[in-house]
Amino acid sequence: MTAPRRLLLVNGPNLNLLGTREPEVYGTQTLADVESLTRATAAEAGFDVRAVQSNHEGVLIDAIHGARTDCAGIVINPGGLTHTSVVLRDALSGVALPVAEVHISDVRAREEFRHFSYVADVAMVHVIGEGVAGYATATRRLLQVITGRADG
């Protein structure tokens, strides 16, 4: 059986507001820009991308569960769920796919509550504070892990 050549791109709560929400923190690029950049980056390695964004935790968990059968890995920006959601972390762990965690802002330089990530221990790749360009970095690093060109 051939391994799937698809990634799941997951964007959590409030990321639908990219481009208008706190542009001094998150920039002016939109969610559509994020999805386009991630698709173009994955295409460089012959992969396609299925993208999901939701403000509802269960929708994200269902998408992660669905990736188990037709995706090779997951690029995720959990948004605020990073710091609060054990069930999102458990979903990522449960599907046993390689995960790249990405954050547009440097969460370590922000409020104290943003310093902890429930996703960190299940992600093989971490890209923090590179702006929207971090999605390309995370995608490339994850694809290196998936294709055996890197350890994570």
Helix (H, G, I), strand (E, B) or coil at 94: helix
On whether residue 73 sits in a domain, the answer given is: yes
Would you put residue 116 in left (φ > 0), alpha (ψ -120 to 50) or beta?
A: beta
Count of all residues that appear for the chain in the document? 152
- Would you say 61 is a known binding-site residue? no
- Would you say 83 is a known binding-site residue? yes
pTM of the entire structure?
0.92
On whether residue 136 sits in a domain, the answer given is: yes
More confident residue, 135 or 84: 135
- Would you say 39 is a known binding-site residue? no
Q: What is the pLDDT of residue 113?
A: 66
Q: What is the pLDDT of residue 96?
A: 95
Q: Which is nearest to 3 in space by CA: 49, 74, 96, 71?
A: 71
Q: What is the pLDDT of residue 114?
A: 66
**What total number of domains does the chain contain?**
1
Report how far apart the first and last C-alpha atoms of the chain are (Å, whole number).
24
On whether residue 1 sits in a domain, the answer given is: no
Contact 53, 63 (CB under 8 A): no
Contact 51, 129 (CB under 8 A): no
On whether residue 13 sits in a domain, the answer given is: yes
- Would you say 105 is a known binding-site residue? yes
On whether residue 113 sits in a domain, the answer given is: yes
- Would you say 114 is a known binding-site residue? yes
Which of 20-34, 82-96, 133-147 is predicted with the least confidence, judged by mean pLDDT? 20-34
CATH of the domain at 110: 3.40.50.9100
Q: Which residues are catalytic?
A: 26, 103
Q: Which domain holds residue 108?
A: 6-146
Computed over every residue of the chain, the mean pLDDT equals 92
On whether residue 40 sits in a domain, the answer given is: yes
On whether residue 115 sits in a domain, the answer given is: yes
Which of 6-20, 60-74, 96-110 is predicted with the least confidence, judged by mean pLDDT? 96-110
Model confidence at 104: pLDDT above 70: yes
On whether residue 151 sits in a domain, the answer given is: no
Q: What is the pLDDT of residue 152?
A: 47
What tens digit of pLDDT does each residue of 2-55 get?
678 999 999 999 999 999 987 887 778 999 999 999 999 999 999 999 999 999
